[in-house]
Chains A and B, each alone.
Chain A
Amino acid sequence: MSDQKNPGSHTETIHLPAPTAWPLVLAFGATLLFAGLVTSPWISVLGGILMISGAVGWFRQVLPHEVHEDIPVVVEEVALTTTRRQVEKIVIPEGDRAHLPLETYPIISGIKGGLAGGVAMIPPALLYGLIAQHSIWYPVNLLGGAGVANWRNPSTADIAAFHWQGLLVASAIHWTTCVLVGLLYGAMLPMLPRRPILLGGVIAPVLWTGLLHSVMGIVNPVLDEHIAWGWFLVSQVAYGVTAGLVVARQERIRTTQSLPFAMRVGLETPGLGHEHSDEGKH
């Protein structure tokens, strides 16, 4: 498709593919070809003839040269309007950013916090197992039992016994979740207003435990019967406080959301930061 200017006038013609019925003929033939399989062979024969006719007609449309039609054009201006009001841009000082923190913790701090919190959760959980069921494996199997596929309706004695599959699955779930939640802490703590340890370490675990307590009876009633929610809360708070303290002790780094993408990925772009800050003043 190309433009052609008619000399001496303000009009143009534009080449466009010429309308043609051959695609319709070919499609109709193909449909009849299939329709004949459930109606009459003669319908298929007719479909075949139409298909060949359609294909030949189509080829003649494009070979040796594509058939076009010239569409004349008269050009005039289009007026575009906008309903947007003119507004004055306000330059906002960097310190006024309320929602995205200027500084945050590095990713490694979240991992460290998660791992430390994970360690802190273990003593209260094992203590509960020893006191309530006289077995340290009870809480382990409660967590890991979901991953042992052939474990059906275990008794309390089963849960209190050692199962290496349960230990493996429980360890995988425990450490993966601890690290992921630790990363979340690393990202969120700088954004929490005032006492982040209190919010992230105590209030968030209490809310989380309350949520789980209210839904576990519906989601997994059998598991719900075996969980001691008081002890569960203690281990959650132990995690939250420990992870929060470890994260908070790490050195903060400056956030980079406001920098251009090229700088964030480390491309060598001298002067980019300077240009960006200039543009920001428009």
Chain B
Amino acid sequence: MADQTLPIHGALDLTPPRESQHTLLDILHDWVITVDHKKLGLMYMMMAIFFLLVAGAEAICIRIQLAVPNNHFISPQTFNRLFTMHGTTMVFLVGMPLVFAWANYIVPLQIGARDMAFPRLNAFSFWLTFLGGIFLYYSFIGGPGLYGTGSAPDVTWWAYAPLTAKAFSPGHATDYWALALIVTGFGTIGGGINIMATVLSMRCKGMTLMRMPLFTWLMFVNGAFVLIVITPLTAAQVMLLIDRYLGGHFFDTQAGGSATVWMHFFWIFGHPEVYVLVFPAFAIASEVIQVFSRKAIFGYPAMVAAVVGIAFVSLGVWAHHMFTIGMTSAGNAFFVLSTSLVGIPTGIKIFNWLATMWGGKIRFATPMLFCTAFLFQFLCAGLTGIMLSVAPWDWQLHSSYFVIAHFHYVLVGAIVFNVFAGIYYWFPKATGRMMSETLGKWHFWLFFIGFHVTFDTMHFVGFEGMPRWIYTYPADRGWQHLNLVVSIGGVIQAIAVLLFAYNLIWSLFKGKIAGNDPWDAWTLEWATSSPPPIYNFATDPVVRSRRPLWDLKHPEDPDWKYD
């Protein structure tokens, strides 16, 4: 192996650490008042991991309840709350914070900036998101509620009307859901504005839009996307509160309103939201796959066009969640076709990732293992998505466990897998230490096996006709064996996640020293020290191609010659 050593002038910070940071209180104070994008990114990440563990615990309770027929591990009321809070938490308190965790930590480093465009707005957005989450969970203890054990929401994460009307949901459970998500929604809007402004106005010299790393491109599109997507939900929640407290009738079918209007409002947010959550997974895959295949990404312009295409098309597919309400044939046909259309740009991305791996010198380190599994699982999720996009198929399987299996294939099989990939990949940059590869591979294989045991089997539970939301089921339905397998898979996944949490903490203190560029990568974040200094780069970087570090490492064969 012929190692090369090349200097980057002015990239390393040897500034002595601040002397004031001695006590735990000092450190805590430093983090609480920070406006630094890296600390805020890590705070988003810690928040997401914390709520991932909470939502995971809720899922395990749900699976224990459903593992055997006629079970009474928890009460029906608690079951309703747990699946509502599990869904709400995973989408709004895990998925969304992860978007901003990655965008905050990585984007400024990748574009050679010192911080986000609006650092104080960044802190404000984080605290709104975090406090909105605390507010939501305060509902467990914040009042007597309907059943004497709190007022946690119990109306599912999409809160269909008229269930949310005052007559059917007395007490404050639904209000907690609406108000907490309004608070986190404002945080999301602030975050989206910040990402867009940062990418548009803070790029270093030479970094044209078409030289930006794909990760940054995806985050940029996502920043714009959340602004479009989150506002209908916030509007609908305000309308819901008006219905409940100010005598409005937006969703009151008995007073001239329409429950279907809520569905339209919710799903015009809800379906693009899936893409908001999955874009960071795409972004991570686009970095990890090329670095661990030792090849530049295949078809960069097509990848950029595809993500813009996905964002655009996905704004016109929402009513495929509503085939069973009885739309017109023209309505059904439109949403069948528009939903199928998403498969084209998504297919482009999958083919390009595969083409990047093709002929590459692939290193199956832990991040690459997760990304490889993502490719296969996301393809399967896309195929079941195409199946469900066909209205007659959806009529048969809507609200069955087949649908749950499909979207968990997206949310876990694609998003969570790549979140793990991203954490293994950038942990050395953020902490200066490597995560344990041995524990990482144990984590991967356990999680991979647990995932497939759970969610592959869940498709068949759906085929067998088991509806979602049911608290328990009689033994004569033929679902018990499959449900037991699903629950066992859930426990395997939980063990894997605990192993990951242990690896995270162990590696933070005992991990091997990483160095600045442990993966031999090509984007700017690896050109500064690990962890980066507060100002990221002592001198402003100048780039001439999409892989500036490749250019520095290989002056005999730089990318800019071929641009």
Contact = CB atoms under 8 A, between A and B. Distances in A.
Contacts of B134: 31
The secondary structure that dominates the B interface is mixed
Q: On chain A, which size bracket covers the interface?
A: 35 or more
* Secondary structure dominating the interface of A: mixed
B520 A82 contact: yes
B557 A282 contact: yes
B32 interface: yes
A77 B7 contact: yes
Interface residues of B, number: 68
10 contacts: A22-B120, A38-B175, A38-B179, A77-B8, A77-B12, A78-B11, A78-B516, A79-B5, A81-B3, A82-B554
A80 B5 contact: yes
Interface string B482-493: 000000000000
B533 interface: yes
A224 interface: no
Interface of A: 1, 3, 12, 14, 16-24, 26-28, 30-31, 34-35, 37-39, 58, 61-62, 71-86, 89, 149-150, 279, 282
B3 A82 contact: yes
Interface in B515-563: 516-517, 520, 527-529, 533-535, 538-539, 549, 552-554, 557, 561-562
A185 B244 CA distance: 61
Contacts of A1: 114-115
Nearest to B31: A19
B127 A27 contact: yes
A83 B1 contact: yes
B2 A31 contact: no
B215 interface: no
B204 to A, nearest CB: 12
Interface string B301-338: 00000000000000000000000000001000100000
A22 B122 CA distance: 12
Given A34-B179, A38-B142, A77-B12, A27 B128 contact: yes
Given A19-B33, A37-B179, A73-B15, 11 more contacts: A17-B120, A19-B36, A28-B127, A30-B186, A34-B179, A34-B182, A71-B535, A78-B12, A80-B7, A82-B4, A85-B2
Contacts of A27: 124, 127-128, 131, 187
B6 interface: yes
Which of the listed residues A17, A26, A62 has the most CB atoms from chain B within 10 Å of its own CB? A17
Contacts of B36: 16, 19
A46 B179 CA distance: 17
Contacts of A22: 120
The 8 closest A-B pairs by CB, nearest first: A27-B127, A149-B329, A23-B124, A23-B123, A31-B131, A78-B11, A77-B7, A19-B33
Nearest to B392: A220
B176 interface: yes
Q: Which of A28, A34, A58, A86 has the largest count of B CB atoms less than 10 A from its CB?
A: A34
A74 B179 contact: no
Contacts of A282: 557, 561
Interface string B173-191: 0011001101100110000
Given A82-B520, A279-B561, A16 B115 contact: yes
B3 A16 contact: no
Nearest to A279: B561
Residue from the set B2, B30, B172, B529 with the largest chain A CB neighbour count within 10 Å: B2
A80 B553 contact: yes
A85 B294 CA distance: 11
Contacts of A12: 538
Nearest to A79: B5
A79 B6 contact: yes
Given A30-B183, A62-B120, A73 B533 contact: yes
A73 B15 CA distance: 6
Nearest to B361: A84
A82 B15 contact: no
Contacts of A83: 1, 3, 520
B143 A38 contact: yes
Contacts of B386: none
A78 B8 contact: yes
Contact of A80 (B2, B119, B552): B552
Interface in B122-151: 123-124, 127-128, 131-132, 134-135, 138, 142-143, 151
Contacts of B121: 23
A61 B120 contact: yes
Contacts of B15: 71-74
B293 interface: no
Interface string B429-466: 00000000000000000000000000000000000000
A152 to B, nearest CB: 12
Which of B3, B119, B143 is packed against the most chain A CB atoms within 10 Å? B119
B404 interface: no
B241 to A, nearest CB: 8
B8 A80 contact: yes
A183 to B, nearest CB: 15
A20 to B, nearest CB: 6
B379 to A, nearest CB: 18
Contact of A31 (B30, B135, B527): B135
A36 B13 CA distance: 47
Nearest to B6: A80
B143 A80 contact: no
A31 B123 CA distance: 15
B527 A80 contact: yes
* Chain B CB within 10 A, most for which of A23, A37, A89: A23
Contacts of A16: 36, 114-115, 534-535
B2 A86 contact: yes
A77 B179 CA distance: 51
Given A14-B535, A19-B30, A86-B2, A78 B529 contact: yes
Interface in B1-50: 1-15, 30, 32-36
A19 B35 contact: yes
Contacts of A30: 128, 183, 186
Contacts of A31: 128, 131-132, 134-135, 183
Contact of A34 (B14, B142, B183): B183
Nearest to B515: A81
Contacts of B5: 79-81
